[in-house]
Amino acid sequence: MRRIGVFVCHCGSNIAATVDVEKVVEAAKTFPGVVYAADNKYTCSEPGQEAIKKAIAEHNLNRVVICSCSPRMHEATFRKTIADAGLNPYLLEIANIREQVSWVHTDKEKATEKAIDLARIAAAKAAKDEELFTSTIPIEKRALVIGGGIAGMQAALDIADAGLQVTLVEKESSIGGKMVMLDKTFPTLDCSACISTPKMVTLSQHPNIELMTYSEVTHVGGYIGNFEVTIKQKAKFVNHDICTGCGLCETKCPAKVTSEFDQGLGKRPAIHKLFAQAVPNKPVIDKNSCLKLTTGKCGICSKICPVGCIDYEDKDKEVTKKFGAIVLATGYELIDWTKLYGEYGGGRYDNIITGLQFERMVNASGPTDGKIVRPSDGKTPKSVLFIKCVGSRDVNKGKSYCSRACCMYTAKHAHQVLEKIPGAKAYVSYMDVRTPGKGYDEFYMRTLEDGAVYVRGRISKIYPEGEKLISLGEDTLSNSNVTLETDLVVLETAMVPNPSAEKTAAMIGVGRDKDGWLQEAHPKLRPVETNTGGVFLAGTCQGPKDIPDTVAQASAAAAKVIGLLYKDELETNPMISKVDPQKCAGCGFCIEVCPYGAIELVDFPDRYQGKKIMRKVAQVNGGLCQGCGACTVSCKPGAIDLLGFTNLQILEEVDALCR
Amino acid sequence: MRQITLGKEGVEKNIIQTLQEKSGVRLSDCYQCGKCSAGCPVAFAMDLKPRQLIRLLQLEQVDEVLKSKTPWLCATCQCCFVRCPNEIKIPNLMEAVRQEAKARHIIPEKDIDKFNNLFLKNVEQFGRSHETFLMGFYNLTTGHLFQDVGCAPKLYFNKKIRIRPHVVKNKSGVKRLFQKTIEKGAK
């Protein structure tokens, strides 16, 4: 005998203003199986929950329907409420009369009618609710961090410091990411390398951290608590177990190519460390530029290596490891402005560089030993123009979003020009100055004090004239057209997601937004989680941000990982698919549609024409199944049911609506 | 449309420097919020609003600023300064611009300049302003002979103005004050 209780929530005036709650209660009393119905100002509040518990006890209710907000909001709350009252928590149905009724309708009469319909459907479904029980699965107590920039390093260190094992995978030959390329960091102007390289060393020596540089994740399987990840270790052609990192090979290597780390401003040998303080501080051979590997003629590094660690026969290796949680910290790249901004020369003029090139230039260990020079002739510029929002806030040519860090690093760049070149002029073309951070606006004001001139308007065209670059813009503050004659132009270009993130995200099943940034589960309340259980986000892979925000988010992601991995077992969701082997025809169609790879065909003993036979039937792996229901609709014989959303329940709902 | 060229060598940076030193204003302090211009009681008559004048100085457009009527129209009421979020002493800046312009014989508001001179002469002579003299001489020197003359009898009978100057007790003290100020300015 079903004894259903219906509880209708006012949600203050959120629901009650558009829905006649009393009418819904009266209507609910007439639904089949309903023995009790009541309303409440705030059902989710303490008194509201107590009222439910009291009603369950007094009226001996065994199914509960709550007409309130979206189940995403309070399903967990109310499951706990009825569990406290002694009911199985899955004997609960929620009719969403807020997001789907009161918030989207204005006509009170029609809205009330719809609310009653939704309540009736929920009551019909509740009548067929069965008790469900969670099970537990063991958790692999090891975390994987993908990306070795400041976000990945911070997350890995925090997790490792909590006593858990971490594997850090980095695609370059050294960890450090973008931060080690920078010279100074705003707003305190501490040297970027001085604060990041100690972290790199700590990380490489941490007993709980396994560092895998020059490696990429090629396959991710499994589920929260039990991911199976295949990592490809690219051939380094240098045996790092014996290499002492003396650097002799680098000095003798005859193959010189453009340095990616120096943003194309310098050269590097084919056998190289990423930069002087690289961790691990041992070289790798770039197989595309090594003469021995491309032409077969050279081998100098092998001859001069004092310990004989060069191995031209080295091959890519693949290892598969198990992890309980994954932190994505794949970072950003800068937008390629040369393809987008023809009006700025599209890369034809040497003296137009990007902000990251400027960072390498001004960095004491960079290609110019810290001197700001014009790439065309090596002369010191007497005037420099910085252009903000190149690619940012430009729907036509670039991205609609603000890249967040540029306002501050532009102020820093202008400050550095005025500090390093006596008598120099620094101009900044800008639309807004956005400095929302501790000490940020003060930093910007200090740059103005230093003498930087901010011209409010976008530059529309840049062309060379003699040795100078002429930039045409407007100063909207003084209502004048401005012509800027400068020796160097620096474009502060937009951040875009690292291109490798797309593949990695697809492998793990993490969503991406319209611009390709990895999607967090909720922009405000679950900023580091993803919609895939056990996968977390840290740093700029989620959206543009500066170093302080990146580090904060990385630590937040680490806290989530620690919280997950400190449990010994994980409760599984019981609302998963179940196959009735008697009905299953073994067609395997469900296997193809399952996005989680949770279904497989297994042998099933059966009888056919009086004889015992073995036939193939589908079986669901409870750990992998996320309860999406794709298999149930694909199953032609109707052998698969999603527990909590059975075919019978859906039909009952349709019946109730048509009644 | 005004056309500005930036980045050229040999701009009169020293004038900007002098203006900043004389007025005690740091031009970079202004973030162009416009509160000064919004509250200025004479902004309606200005060719450049106080905010625009500062902006042009930030962009080193000295010539246009020196030719502007704005510093001459400024009544030094201090309204802009007391409301400025960055505590910029705009009236001091206006005074500095006025002096700099006058030194170059750029006087866009000649009557105002004459009035200023007469007023100071008056105070130097009598120790305080003598309105009758001031009004009379102002009308004579500017050539607006009958400007506001109709008001004179009413003012006289209401004892707002008088024929004889009212002299302060320590007249020589005021004179000394003037001398010292002039000496200081000459330095």
A493-510 pLDDT tens trace: 999 999 999 999 999 989
Residue reference for tokens 């290892």: A319
Q: What is the pLDDT of residue B187?
A: 62
Write the residue in B9, B31, B59 that is nearest to A478 by C-beta: B59
Q: Where are the domains of chain A?
A: 4-127, 136-234+316-331+498-570, 236-314, 334-496, 577-643
B90 and B19 housed in the same domain: yes
Give the C-alpha separation, B55 to A617, whole Å: 79
The answer for residues whose C-beta is within 8 angstroms of residue A413's C-beta and 6 or more apart is A355, A358, A362, A386, A426, A490, A492
Return the HEC string of A20-49: CHHHHHHHHCCCCCEEEEEEECCCCCHHHH
What's the N-to-C CA distance of chain A in angstroms? 21
Of B76, B103, B130, which closes a domain? Answer: B103
Tell me how long chain A is. 659
Q: What is the pLDDT of residue A572?
A: 82
Whether residue A172 is predicted with pLDDT greater than 70 in this model: the reply is yes
B92 and B126 housed in the same domain: no
The larger pLDDT score, comparing residue A222 to residue A383, is at A383
Q: What is the pLDDT of residue B171?
A: 87
Burial class from Cβ neighbours inside 10 Å (0-12, 13-18, 19+) for residue A213 reads buried
Bond before A367 cis per omega within 30 degrees: no
Q: What is the pLDDT of residue A534?
A: 93
Give me the number of domains chain B comprises.
2
- For the record, the structure tokens of A281 come out as 């501080």
Q: What is the pLDDT of residue A470?
A: 97
B56 and B71 housed in the same domain: yes
d(CA B169, nearest CA chain A) in Å? 48
Q: What is the pLDDT of residue B1?
A: 80
Whether residue A334 is predicted with pLDDT greater than 80 in this model: the reply is yes
Q: Is the dihedral of CA B51, B57, B61, B66 positive or negative?
A: positive
B37 and B95 housed in the same domain: yes
Contact check, Cβ <8 Å, A478/B7:
no
Q: Residue range A87-116: average pLDDT? A: 96
B97 and B146 housed in the same domain: no
3-state secondary structure of A558: helix
B74 and B46 housed in the same domain: yes
Chain A residue with CA closest to B27: the answer is A449
Give the C-alpha separation, A559 to A403, whole Å: 26
pLDDT tier at B40, thresholds 50, 70, 90: very high
B170 and B96 housed in the same domain: no
B134 and B87 housed in the same domain: no
Q: How do residues A593-603 score in pLDDT, each as one tens digit?
A: 988 788 999 99
% of chain B beyond a pLDDT of 90: 70
Phi first, then psi: what are they for A431, rounded to 5°? Answer: -110, -40
Give the C-alpha separation, A260 to A333, whole Å: 12
Whether residue A179 is predicted with pLDDT greater than 90 in this model: the reply is yes
Q: What is the pLDDT of residue B10?
A: 63
pLDDT tier at A625, thresholds 50, 70, 90: confident
B80 and B114 housed in the same domain: no
d(CA B23, nearest CA chain A) in Å? 16
B72 and B123 housed in the same domain: no
Q: What is the pLDDT of residue A387?
A: 97
- For the record, the structure tokens of A469 come out as 């670059």
Contact check, Cβ <8 Å, A477/B32:
yes
Give the C-alpha separation, A292 to A296, whole Å: 4
Residue B7, in any domain of the structure: no
pLDDT tier at A377, thresholds 50, 70, 90: very high
Of B42, B69, B103, which closes a domain? Answer: B103
CA–centroid distance for A14 within its chain: 33
Fold for the domain defined by A4-127: Rossmann fold (3.40.50)
Chain B residue with CA closest to A425: the answer is B7
Amino acid at B94: M
- For the record, the structure tokens of B144 come out as 């607006």
- Mean pLDDT of all residues belonging to chain A: 94
Residue reference for tokens 């029609």: A110
Chain A residue with CA closest to B54: the answer is A478
Residue B43, in any domain of the structure: yes
Chain A hits for B58, Cβ within 8 Å = 453
Q: Residue range A64-73: average pLDDT? A: 93
Contact check, Cβ <8 Å, B2/A385:
no
Of A281-290, A426-435, B124-133, minimum mean pLDDT range: B124-133
Fold for the domain defined by A334-496: FAD/NAD(P)-binding domain (3.50.50)
Q: What is the pLDDT of residue A169?
A: 98
In terms of phi and psi (left: phi > 0; alpha: psi -120 to 50; beta: otherwise), the region of A34 is beta
Give the C-alpha separation, A19 to A10, whole Å: 8
d(CA A487, nearest CA chain B) in Å? 9
Phi first, then psi: what are they for B22, rounded to 5°? Answer: -60, -40
In CATH terms, are A334-496 and A577-643 the same topology? no
Q: How do residues A527-556 score in pLDDT, each as one tens digit?
A: 999 988 899 999 999 999 999 999 999 999
Options 1.10.3470, 1.20.1740, 2.60.60, 3.30.70; CATH for A236-314 is 3.30.70
B116 and B171 housed in the same domain: yes
Chain A residue with CA closest to B1: the answer is A480
CA-wise closest residue to A86 among A111, A118, A58: A58
Q: How do residues A270-322 score in pLDDT, each as one tens digit?
A: 999 999 999 999 999 999 999 999 999 999 999 999 999 999 999 999 999 99
Where helices occur in A467-570 by DSSP H, the ranges are 500-508, 547-565
ipTM of the complex: 0.84
Whether the Cβ atoms of residue A633 and residue A642 lie closer than 8 Å to each other: no
Residue B181, in any domain of the structure: yes
Chain A hits for B6, Cβ within 8 Å = 425, 427, 453, 455, 482-485
Sheet holding A425-430, edge to edge: A352-354, A488-493, A383-390, A425-430, A453-456
Q: pTM, whole model, 2 decimals?
A: 0.83
**Is CATH 3.30.499.10 correct for A136-234+316-331+498-570?**
no
% of chain A beyond a pLDDT of 90: 92
Q: What is the pLDDT of residue A533?
A: 87
Give the C-alpha separation, A349 to A381, whole Å: 15
% of chain A beyond a pLDDT of 70: 100
Whether residue A422 is predicted with pLDDT greater than 90 in this model: the reply is yes
CA-wise closest residue to A628 among A655, A598, A587: A598
Helices (H) and strands (E) in chain B, counts: 11, 1
Give the C-alpha separation, B29 to B54, whole Å: 10
Q: What is the pLDDT of residue A570?
A: 87
Whether the Cβ atoms of residue A544 and residue A399 lie closer than 8 Å to each other: no
- For the record, the structure tokens of A563 come out as 């919280």
Residue B2, in any domain of the structure: no
Chain A residue with CA closest to B58: the answer is A453
Residue B174, in any domain of the structure: yes
Which run of H or E residues covers position B174? helix B171-186
3-state secondary structure of A64: strand
Structural domain boundaries enclosing B177: 110-186
B128 and B63 housed in the same domain: no
Chain A hits for B61, Cβ within 8 Å = 478
The larger pLDDT score, comparing residue A354 to residue B162, is at A354
pLDDT tier at A90, thresholds 50, 70, 90: very high
Q: Residue range A201-223: average pLDDT? A: 95
Q: What is the pLDDT of residue A349?
A: 96
Q: Residue range A74-95: average pLDDT? A: 95
Return the HEC string of A401-434: CCCCCHHHHHHHHHHHHHHHCCCCEEEEEECCCC
| Interface residues of chain A, partner chain B, Cβ below 8 Å | 382-383, 385, 425, 427, 445, 448-449, 451, 453, 455-456, 468, 475, 477-486
Q: What is the pLDDT of residue A601?
A: 94
Provide the CATH number for the domain around residue B40. 1.10.1060.10
Of B103, B136, B169, which closes a domain? Answer: B103
Contact check, Cβ <8 Å, B28/A448:
yes
**Is CATH 3.40.50.300 correct for A577-643?**
no
Q: Chain B interface, mutation test: which of A427, A477, A481, A484, most B Cβ atoms within 10 Å?
A: A477
Residue B4, in any domain of the structure: no
Q: What is the pLDDT of residue A646?
A: 94
Q: What is the pLDDT of residue A558?
A: 98
Q: How do residues A231-282 score in pLDDT, each as one tens digit?
A: 999 999 999 999 999 999 999 999 999 999 999 999 999 999 999 999 999 9
Chain B hits for A414, Cβ within 8 Å = none
For residue A523, the number of C-alpha atoms closer than 13 Å in the C-beta half-sphere is 4
